[in-house]
Amino acid sequence: MKQLLILIFLLFATITRAYTQPIDTCFSRKKILNIYNNIVVLEHRDSINTILIKEFNSVVIDYKSVMKMDSTTIAGQKIQINNLEENSKTWKKLYDTVNPKWYQKPPFMFATGIITTLLLFKLF
């Protein structure tokens, strides 16, 4: 009995479903052609977008390599700056060591010698 009720219910459901489908499911040739043309246009746009994405990915890879080279160059220049600063400090120390003081320079010594000589002759 249960099986008979289930069979009647299924038969009733399929019959009512067949008559309740919307009428507007059939497309005209013009609508089908329009849909086909839209699909073709979208496929073309998709292929263009795929090509652009590949190109942009290669550009991103190029920029990443340029960024690595730039960071390497910056690190090298920092090392060079540190070396030049140390070199400058060394040259300043050497200049201070080799360069005579103000009282050891020849013009000052010459003037001091003349003044001392004049003072000695006046006193004696």
According to the model, what pLDDT value does residue 91 have? 94
Residue 97, CA atoms < 13 Å, CB-side half-sphere: 6
pTM of the model: 0.47
According to the model, what pLDDT value does residue 21 have? 53
According to the model, what pLDDT value does residue 59 have? 97
Residues 6+ apart with CB under 8 A from 102: 108
Q: How far, in Å, CA of 58 to CA of 64, rounded?
A: 10
- Whether the per-residue pLDDT at 28 is higher than 80: the answer is yes
Short-list 41, 104, 109, CA closest to 117: 109
Q: What is the pLDDT of residues 77-110, one digit of tens each?
A: 999 999 999 999 999 999 888 877 766 667 777 8
According to the model, what pLDDT value does residue 42 have? 95
- Domain spans in the chain, listed from the N-terminal domain onward: 2-123
Q: What is the pLDDT of residues 33-84, one digit of tens each?
A: 999 999 999 999 999 999 999 999 999 999 999 999 999 999 999 999 999 9
Pull the structure tokens for residue 75. 């690190």
Q: How far, in Å, CA of 122 to CA of 124, rounded?
A: 6
According to the model, what pLDDT value does residue 35 have? 92
